[in-house]
Structure 1
Amino acid sequence: MRVALFVTCVNDALYPRTGIAVVRLLERLGVEVDFPAAQSCCGQPQYNTGYRYETEPLVRRTAAAFEGYAYVVTPSGSCAAMIREHYPRIGRKAAAEGRGGELAEAAASLGPRVYELTEFLVDVLGVTDVGAYFPHTVTYHPSCHGLRGLGLGDRPRRLLAAVKGLELVELPGAEECCGFGGTFSVKNPDLSAAMGGDKAGSAAATGADFLCGADNSCLAHLDGILRRRGAPLRTLHLAEILAATEEEPPA
């Protein structure tokens, strides 16, 4: 099986180890991974800020970059939700306004082929035990886009529960938003910081070694708060845990 990796802007610029971990993990499971160089931002920041017309070229570019792939895998519930939920709306609106039906067709075609990493592992490959080894205590934060937008449910937790050596600790108030929300944190910094403070406090109180999640944007927000508080709790993307083995621990 061959898939395309949609690494996302945040991971490409700030967390390249996450993208590397996804490739290592998928190749260990017998999947060939391509990285289309034409990929760029999916347009979520522009769209969420109200710049719908400016988002359309990015929809076209993203659809073209991943044309021909039956599966597009991304380590981000946020960006997966953007493509699956909002691309079709952008395409339909553009077609209704007479700017060409090809955008609507491209958006409708790409959406069903995009999978958040845990969806791909559980639903497509049919695995929960990926052969990982991570001898640490971990608590899991479900990001809003994955939890509510994609409906990931217990997929991430099932994958974590199967990791050898890992002790999974419940996160109090796990379903509460961490307050990042992309441009929300820019427009409402005080509220964002307060929400993040509550979530970071709950995570630190678990006594876990690591706080993991499926979106590095949320983890970056929480990591900043934890570091400023001097908390020993470290953040780590789920992919990096699943990629870890006794021979290849996370960096």
Structure 2
Amino acid sequence: MRIALFSTCIGDAMFPDAQKATALILSRLGHEVVFPEEQTCCGQMHVNTGYQKETLGMIRTYADAFADPSIDYVVSASGSCVGAVRERHTRIAERFGTAADVDGAHKAADKTLDLPEFLVDIEQRTNLGAFFPHRVTYHSSCHGLRFLKLGDRPYQLLREVEGIELVPLENFEECCGFGGTFALKNAEVSQAMVTDKTRHVKDTGAEYVTGGDSSCLMNIGGALSRQRSGIRALHMAEILASTKEHPWTPETAAYSKEKML
């Protein structure tokens, strides 16, 4: 299949390793991975802040970027951005856009999937040959849990990783407190929420906390770092891309197709 990688703003600018790892996983499964360069922000942050009509241009750009009929699926390592595309693009297009906007939004949304959805539902694979001999706990992001309803798909994938010790996280369904602009507008509430989340993470005794949203992991990982906990936040795509031959370590986190395939 021909798969387009949707890298997202935060992934492209701040967490490129998760995007490279996603492309590597898809390539190893035999798919052609393409990266439409015209892609840009999905508009999630703007919608959350109340600028729905103003987001219409971003929705058009997203639809145009992935409109190529030769693209079978659009895959992203971000449950929140995929949730925005699937849950909001069509509604905003229907409310403010033209018939062409509605058609484009639906076509793009229908083939946009979060990485665990694609691997478990489409590829029907949970064992990717990954190797990660560490104690790990998983954080369920709000969008992945409630919008996409990922369920246990991430756990199915992580349980198959050789060497991993996957430990449950208490109150896993609770928000980490990031919420995009929520963390800025309601800083004290956000801080209290991430303090609760990091307490539960530390209680697991894990070396790493993983998840499917870089924004959540940035929030949790930043708090853990300030607390000098020694626990690192790591996107699950990087765990799934790690193998015995090319293991992930903090010192060799830069993936490249030449090194990893």
TM-score category (smaller protein): over 0.9
Match of 1:133, SS state, is coil
Structure 2 unaligned spans of 5+? 254-261
Structure 2 distance, partners of 1:207, 1:141, is 14
Structure 1 unaligned spans of 5+? none
Structure 2 distance, partners of 1:107, 1:186, is 30
The residue that corresponds to 1:214 in the other structure is 212
The residue that corresponds to 2:77 in the other structure is 75
Deviation at 1:247, TM superposition (A): 1.2
Selected match of 2:86 from 84, 87, 109: 84
Is the CA contact (8 Å cut-off) linking 1:11 and 1:19 kept in structure 2? yes
User: Percent identity over the alignment?
Assistant: 49
What whole-Å deviation, never above 9, does each CA across 1:61-85 have from its counterpart, x for those lacking one? 0100001222000000000000000
- Runs of 4+ off more than 6 Å: none
Deviation at 1:108, TM superposition (A): 1.2
Amino acid at match of 2:133: P
Amino acid at match of 2:57: P
The residue that corresponds to 1:227 in the other structure is 225
Match of 1:10, SS state, is helix
The residue that corresponds to 1:103 in the other structure is 101
Is the CA contact (8 Å cut-off) linking 1:94 and 1:101 kept in structure 2? no
Match of 1:153, SS state, is coil
Selected match of 1:156 from 150, 154, 157: 154
> Does residue 1:8 correspond to 2:8, yes or no?
yes
Q: What do you get for the CA RMSD once the two structures are aligned?
A: 0.8
Deviation at 1:40, TM superposition (A): 0.5
Structure 2 distance, partners of 1:139, 1:66, is 34
Deviation at 1:218, TM superposition (A): 0.2
The residue that corresponds to 2:141 in the other structure is 143
If the length of structure 2 is used for normalisation, what is the TM-score? 0.93
If the length of structure 1 is used for normalisation, what is the TM-score? 0.97
The residue that corresponds to 2:56 in the other structure is 56
Structure 2 distance, partners of 1:186, 1:82, is 20
Deviation at 1:177, TM superposition (A): 0.7
What whole-Å deviation, never above 9, does each CA across 1:34-53 have from its counterpart, x for those lacking one? 00000000111111111112
